Structure 1
Amino acid sequence: MYRYDAFDAAFVAERNRQFRAQVERRIDGALTEDEFKPLRLMNGLYLQLHAYMLRVAIPYGTLRGNQMDKLAEIAERWDKGYGHFTTRQNIQFNWPRLRDVPDILDALAEVEMHALQTSGNTIRNVTADHFAGAAADEVADPRPVAELIRQWSTDHPEFQFLPRKFKIAVTGSPNDRAVTAAHDIGLRIVANEAGEIGYRVLVGGGLGRTPMIGKVIADFVSGDDLLPYLEAIVSVWNLLGRRDNKYKSRIKITVHEHGIDAIRDLVEARFAEVKPEFSGVDQEMLAAITAQFAPPAFAERSTELFDAAYETDPGFRAWADTNLTAHRAPGYAIAQISLKAHGATPGDATADQMRAMADIARRFGHDELRISHEQNVVLPHVHKADLPEIHKILKAQGLATANIGLVSDIIACPGMDYCALATARSIPIAQSIATRFDELKIEHEIGDLKIKISGCINACGHHHVGHIGILGLDRAGVENYQITLGGDHTEDASLGERTGPGFSADEVVPAIETVVQTYLETRRDAEETFLETYRRVGMAPFKAALYPSKDKDTSRNEARANAA
Structure 2
Amino acid sequence: MYRYDEFDLAFVQQRVAQFRGQVERRLAGELSEDEFKPLRLMNGLYLQLHAYMLRVAVPYGTLSSKQMRRLARIARDYDHGYGHFTTRQNIQYNWPKLAEVPDLLAELAEVEMHAIQTSGNCIRNVTADHFAGASADEIEDPRIYAEIIRQWSSLHPEFSFLPRKFKIAVTGAPNDRAAVRFHDIGLQIRRNEAGDVGFEVIVGGGQGRTPVIGVTIRKFLPKAHLLSYLEAILRVYNQLGRRDNLYKARIKILVQQTGAEVFTRLVDEEWAELKDGALTLPAEEIERIETYFAPPAFETLPANSPAFEARRFEDRDFARWVRSNVSAHKADGYAIVSISLKPEGGAPGDATAEQMEVVADLAEAYSFDEILISHEQNLVLPHVKLSDLPAVWDKLVQHELATPNIGLVSDMIACPGLDYCNLANARSIPVAQRISQRFSDLNRQHEIGDLKIKISGCINACGHHHVGHIGILGVDKKGEEFYQITLGGSADENAAIGKIVGPAFSYDAVVDAIDSIVDTYLGLRQDNEKFNDTYARVGITPFKEKLYAAA
Tell me by how many angstroms 1:101 deviates.
Answer: 0.7
Tell me by how many angstroms 1:375 deviates.
Answer: 0.2
Tell me by how many angstroms 1:63 deviates.
Answer: 0.5
Tell me by how many angstroms 1:440 deviates.
Answer: 8.1
Matched with 1:110 is 110
1:62 counterpart = 2:62:
yes
Whether contact under 8 Å (2:458, 2:474) holds in the other structure is: yes
- Which residue identity does 1:454 align to in structure 2? S
Matched with 1:233 is 233
Are the structure 2 counterparts of residues 283 and 240 from structure 1 closer, same or farther at C-alpha, using a change threshold of 3 Å?
Answer: farther
Tell me by how many angstroms 1:335 deviates.
Answer: 0.4
1:438 counterpart = 2:435:
no
Matched with 2:292 is 292
Q: Matched residues in 1 for 2:287 and 2:158: separation?
A: 25
Q: Matched residues in 1 for 2:132 and 2:380: separation?
A: 11
Matched with 1:530 is 531
Whether contact under 8 Å (1:309, 1:388) holds in the other structure is: yes
- Which residue identity does 2:109 align to in structure 1? A
Whether contact under 8 Å (2:225, 2:280) holds in the other structure is: no
Tell me by how many angstroms 1:305 deviates.
Answer: 1.8
Tell me by how many angstroms 1:276 deviates.
Answer: 3.6
Tell me by how many angstroms 1:284 deviates.
Answer: 4.1
Q: CA RMSD in A?
A: 1.0
TM-score normalised by the chain length of structure 1? 0.96
Q: Deviation per CA, 1:181-222, whole angstroms, max 9, x where unpaired?
A: 000000000001000001000000000011000001110100
Matched with 2:380 is 378
Tell me by how many angstroms 1:531 deviates.
Answer: 1.1
Matched residue SS, 2:232:
helix
Tell me by how many angstroms 1:273 deviates.
Answer: 1.2
Matched residue SS, 2:277:
helix
Matched with 1:257 is 257
- Which residue identity does 1:132 align to in structure 2? A
Q: Matched residues in 1 for 2:362 and 2:368: separation?
A: 9
- Which residue identity does 2:273 align to in structure 1? E
Whether contact under 8 Å (2:227, 2:279) holds in the other structure is: no
Tell me by how many angstroms 1:304 deviates.
Answer: 1.9
Q: Matched residues in 1 for 2:515 and 2:442: separation?
A: 10
Q: Matched residues in 2 for 1:30 and 1:108: separation?
A: 27
Q: Deviation per CA, 1:316-356, whole angstroms, max 9, x where unpaired?
A: 10000000000000011000000000100000000000000
Whether contact under 8 Å (1:227, 1:282) holds in the other structure is: no
Whether contact under 8 Å (1:301, 1:385) holds in the other structure is: no
In structure 1, the gaps of 5 or more residues are: 551-564
Matched with 1:559 is none
Q: Matched residues in 2 for 1:312 and 1:509: separation?
A: 36
Which residue, 314, 317, 324 being the options, matches 1:315? Answer: 317
Matched with 2:94 is 94
- Describe how 1:158-557 pairs up with structure 2 within 5 A: 158-278=158-278, 280=280, 283-301=283-301, 303-439=305-441, 441-525=443-527, 527-549=528-550
In structure 2, the gaps of 5 or more residues are: none
- Which residue identity does 1:312 align to in structure 2? E
Whether contact under 8 Å (1:66, 1:358) holds in the other structure is: yes
Q: Matched residues in 2 for 1:467 and 1:136: separation?
A: 25
Matched residue SS, 1:456:
coil
Matched residue SS, 2:149:
helix
Tell me by how many angstroms 1:178 deviates.
Answer: 0.1
TM-score normalised by the chain length of structure 2? 0.98
Q: Deviation per CA, 1:115-159, whole angstroms, max 9, x where unpaired?
A: 010000000000000001110011111000000000100000000
Tell me by how many angstroms 1:286 deviates.
Answer: 2.5
Task: List 4+ stretches of structure 1 deviating above 6 A.
Answer: none
- Which residue identity does 2:435 align to in structure 1? I
Q: Matched residues in 2 for 1:323 and 1:444: separation?
A: 12
Matched with 1:554 is none
Q: Deviation per CA, 1:392-449, whole angstroms, max 9, x where unpaired?
A: 0000000000000000000000000011111100000000000001158510100000
Tell me by how many angstroms 1:308 deviates.
Answer: 1.3
- Which residue identity does 2:545 align to in structure 1? A
Matched residue SS, 1:165:
coil
Q: Matched residues in 2 for 1:46 and 1:287: separation?
A: 38
Are the structure 2 counterparts of residues 376 and 221 from structure 1 closer, same or farther at C-alpha, using a change threshold of 3 Å?
Answer: same
Tell me by how many angstroms 1:492 deviates.
Answer: 1.0
Q: Matched residues in 1 for 2:67 and 2:105: separation?
A: 13
- Describe how 1:20-169 pairs up with structure 2 within 5 A: 20-169=20-169
Q: Matched residues in 1 for 2:510 and 2:226: separation?
A: 45
Matched residue SS, 1:442:
helix
- Which residue identity does 1:544 align to in structure 2? E
Whether contact under 8 Å (1:182, 1:489) holds in the other structure is: yes
Q: Matched residues in 2 for 1:382 and 1:538: separation?
A: 41
Matched residue SS, 2:243:
coil
- Which residue identity does 2:116 align to in structure 1? L
Q: Deviation per CA, 1:158-178, whole angstroms, max 9, x where unpaired?
A: 000000000000000000000
- Which residue identity does 1:170 align to in structure 2? V
- Which residue identity does 2:453 align to in structure 1? I
Whether contact under 8 Å (1:65, 1:361) holds in the other structure is: yes
- Which residue identity does 1:325 align to in structure 2? S
Are the structure 2 counterparts of residues 279 and 255 from structure 1 closer, same or farther at C-alpha, using a change threshold of 3 Å?
Answer: closer
Matched residue SS, 1:210:
coil
Matched residue SS, 1:458:
coil
Are the structure 2 counterparts of residues 282 and 252 from structure 1 closer, same or farther at C-alpha, using a change threshold of 3 Å?
Answer: farther
- Which residue identity does 1:220 align to in structure 2? F
Tell me by how many angstroms 1:287 deviates.
Answer: 2.2
Q: Matched residues in 2 for 1:262 and 1:119: separation?
A: 30
Whether contact under 8 Å (1:340, 1:410) holds in the other structure is: yes
Tell me by how many angstroms 1:280 deviates.
Answer: 4.0
- Which residue identity does 1:254 align to in structure 2? L
Q: Matched residues in 2 for 1:181 and 1:39: separation?
A: 32
Are the structure 2 counterparts of residues 97 and 283 from structure 1 closer, same or farther at C-alpha, using a change threshold of 3 Å?
Answer: farther
Q: Percent identity?
A: 62
Q: Matched residues in 1 for 2:491 and 2:190: separation?
A: 19
